[in-house]
Structure 1
Amino acid sequence: MDGAGRVSGVKVGDARPVRRGRGAAYWQAAPFALLFLLFFIVPLVLTVAVSFWRFDDYVLTPELNLDAYREMFEGCIDRLPSLCVTFATYLSTLRFALMAWAVTLVLGFAIAYFLAFHVRSVPMQMALFLLCTVPFWTSNIIRMVAWVPLLGRNGLVNQALQGVGATDAPLDWLLYSEFSVVLAFVHLYTLFMMVPIFNSMARIDRSLLEAARDAGASSWQTLWNVVIPLCKPGIVIGSIFVLTIVMGDFVTVGIMGGQQIASIGKVIQVQMSYLQFPVAAANAVVLLGIVLLMIWALTKLVDIRREL
């Protein structure tokens, strides 16, 4: 320390502005932290707590027990290797999520690739990107109902197929079936997959693609060895969006499945309507655990922090 009160050329009093800056940062983050606490942490804690409460004659008693979880998995072990209703419902939900994820991944990647590498003009990219968001200007329910006159027994698709002689009778599986449910999921959530992938592709240095071509790589080799590895963070983020949304979606399954197809979100909604809050909360806790495991597995594949 010299006579001017310096240590290694830094004033001792310089730490005070740093502490003030940290205090200001904490105050700026406080509103978000409060909202996160009130609208995420508190409801989550209450959901977990209610799943352990007793429910008798439409009366909730804050008494810790495992009755809700026992009711969920009642008879599941005894019926093995056959699936009980709970296991079958979770597997059905997971199957819908995986099918929707696979189709949205292919479509989202193809659209993002076209916008990033084949559309050279930035204004044209923005115009086409905006065009992809047009369906989101209306509600999800309206977009799903719009499929009914297309896919119904007397819809345009069946009439066209019969008109060209492709079928002799209407195809019943086009609507109120697993096909229509997956189709609606793809229609609703492809954009959630496409946007993160496009963001990753937009950051790729074009000189890397030129270097790959100069080295004699074909278009498929460049795609597989250069583009896809650099897009992995966007693919993982889009996968998280699609999988988490589809796993909890019950409106799409109810409308496009004709109230005939089970999903865990639909089960929770029905249990809530019958005031079976502990069982519904227990299902929600199990569903949350499954989704968190899926997110954990995806984040182990690639570090997504650079995309956030």
Structure 2
Amino acid sequence: MGISVAEAEERVSFIKKVKEFGEKRIGLNFCGSFETYNPNPKYPYWLYVSDRDGVNNVLKHPYIGSMGNERMMVTMAKSFEVLGYDAYLFTAEAWGGGMCPILPRLIHAPPERQVYVVLHEGWHCTSWNFGRTHPYAFEEAAGIVIGAFGSMLFAKEYGDKNLEHSIERFISSGFGFYDWINASCRAIRDMYMSAAFDSVTEEDKEMMRKSIFARLWKESGQFREWVRPIARAHFSQPINNAFFVRYRNYSTYQKLMREAAIKLSGIDAIMDAFTHIPDKRTSAKKYFENIVSCI
């Protein structure tokens, strides 16, 4: 569904207000992102790959990324599947590496999603600017919390009750989604580690995989309206191990970060806890201990 030029300009203006809020109120460094609108952009793609008998990343890094080359990434995903791996290809309406323009997909997202995306991606830029050394899963979980708590604060200070209610529903559904990811990963792990799975033929193992993923696909329906605006690739592909490899990066520590944020009570304290590192050599263990100490 198209929008008028005037409406597009209004949405660009709104996104810039969110960015300004992120900079001045939260202290985010956007590294040049969300400054101009690009109607004909190249979109980012991320490919996640898992082995067949577990939610296990088989890549050297969390994902393989590409800017704009969808055909190449689709071919690569299929090549991994031919080799017997699960693959999940994801594309989004923004990225967090800096210099991300305002893209059409973000323009067409609902306002609650726009607010969350801008603040979440701003967190990535800020984190990298601080020379963050903690694992990818820590950064994504912290980004969920910064995006969520920052969004709720923006809505209150923006003075739009409808937006405030929309953001509250959106964030609640998002936390529910990540809790579901964690529960699903436990169920998948239990199946793969069970004596029943270990003792049957490859054909029977495939039937067990199909059965659990069919059940999880059905369960995922309750989150589809929350997930759909995030990216075109969401739920357009079968749920598989690689799907959960991706979202486990977000979900593993999000509850811990969420609990810490609630106890810290205030975006300034949250940002201080999530960004304060004595130097770039601070270990992941030390960072983790710092967050736990907030609870």
Settle same-fold status: TM greater than 0.5: no
Q: TM-score if structure 1 supplies the norm length?
A: 0.22
Q: TM-score if structure 2 supplies the norm length?
A: 0.23
